[in-house]
DNA sequence: CGGTATCCAGGACGATACTG
DNA sequence: CAGTATCGTCCTGGATACCG
């Protein structure tokens, strides 16, 4: 079984904050400052970098409003939206994983 | 929507070769040299490192046979097997993504 | 066969300061 | 507000050689 498709997917969403950004944007568009608040652990530099890569890969749109103060909105492209099943599956697995870890801890008490 | 479960999943399978290793092991156990052949771009060092991390995280088993020449078999744990839906979804999305990229290229000809 | 040990280059990443 | 610029550090990861 060729693993190229798997590698391709990981290359697109495997970045440090990429899946988180995509996840936040599934609820609709967000401004830069809103993303910062949603993902506080990412510095502005990192956030910008990851956003640019997602944009280059065609997963998100970046819309700049030429106003003062500046306003930039990020949203999912059609391709980005198509990732929802992937993110959902990961989210569900992660939820199960974390809750089972909790049970294990309980058993050791 | 809290993104912790998503981050947890990415932390476990987001490593450079981790999803590929897990994917290869879904078909059954493999020896170290077989994994090397399946994933040639990974150096022995990297492969060892990723395998160790997967083992530490409880996703794979490492069974050592005390024979000469040495023999080590890697296989999925129950937890590792439970990742199959995640890997499958990523694989399917990656397949679609790559085939659509091909169509785009055709349109530009 | 299944790794380790060592070295090293380059990139990831954070902290801080600054700007249109 | 939405970044960019600069600096410096840590870590990733490749190359190579070696080992039980």
What would the pLDDT profile of B1-43 be if each residue is shown by its tens digit? 889 999 999 999 999 999 999 999 999 999 999 999 999 999 9
What would the pLDDT profile of A29-55 be if each residue is shown by its tens digit? 999 999 999 999 999 999 999 999 999
Match 């294990």 to its residue by tokens: A104
Nucleic strand D near CB of residue B41 (< 7 Å): yes
Instruction: Give the relative orientation of helices B4-13 and B18-25 as an angle to the nearest 10 degrees.
Output: 80
Distance in angstroms between the alpha carbons of the first and the last residue of chain A? 43
Q: How far apart are CA B82 and CA B12, in angstroms?
A: 13
pLDDT value at residue B107:
59
Nucleic strand D near CB of residue B94 (< 7 Å): no
Instruction: Note whether B75 and B60 are within 8 A (CB).
Output: yes
State percent of chain A over pLDDT 90: 88
Q: How far apart are CA B3 and CA A84, in angstroms?
A: 14
Chain B residues whose CB is inside 8 A of the A38 CB are 3
| Residue numbers of A between 50 and 79 with CB closer than 8 Å to B | 79
Match 């994994």 to its residue by tokens: B35
Structure tokens at B59: 């996703």
Task: Name the residue closest to the C1' of D5 by its CA.
Answer: A45
pLDDT at A108 over 60: no
Chain A residues whose CB is inside 8 A of the B93 CB are 5, 9, 82-83, 85-86
Q: How far apart are CA B70 and CA B86, in angstroms?
A: 33
pLDDT value at residue A104:
72
Closest of B103, B18, B87, B94 to residue A5, by C-alpha:
B94
Angle at Cα B2 formed by Cα A43 and Cα B15, nearest 5°?
A: 60
Residue A23 and residue B6: Cβ atoms within 8 Å? yes
Chain B residues whose CB is inside 8 A of the A92 CB are 5
Residue A106: its H or E element? helix A84-107
Residue B101: band (very low, low, confident or very high) from pLDDT cuts 50, 70, 90: confident
């Amino acid at each position: 079984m060729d693993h190229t498709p798997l590698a391709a997917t990981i290359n697109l969403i495997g970045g440090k904050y990429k899946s988180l950004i995509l996840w936040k944007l599934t609820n609709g568009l967000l401004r830069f400052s809103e993303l910062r608040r949603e993902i506080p652990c990412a510095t502005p530099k990192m956030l910008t970098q990851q956003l640019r890569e997602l944009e280059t890969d065609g997963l998100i749109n970046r819309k700049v409003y030429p106003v003062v103060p500046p306003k930039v909105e990020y949203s999912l492209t059609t391709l980005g939206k198509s990732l929802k099943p992937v993110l959902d599956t990961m989210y569900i697995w992660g939820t199960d994983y974390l809750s089972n870890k909790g049970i294990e801890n309980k058993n050791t008490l």
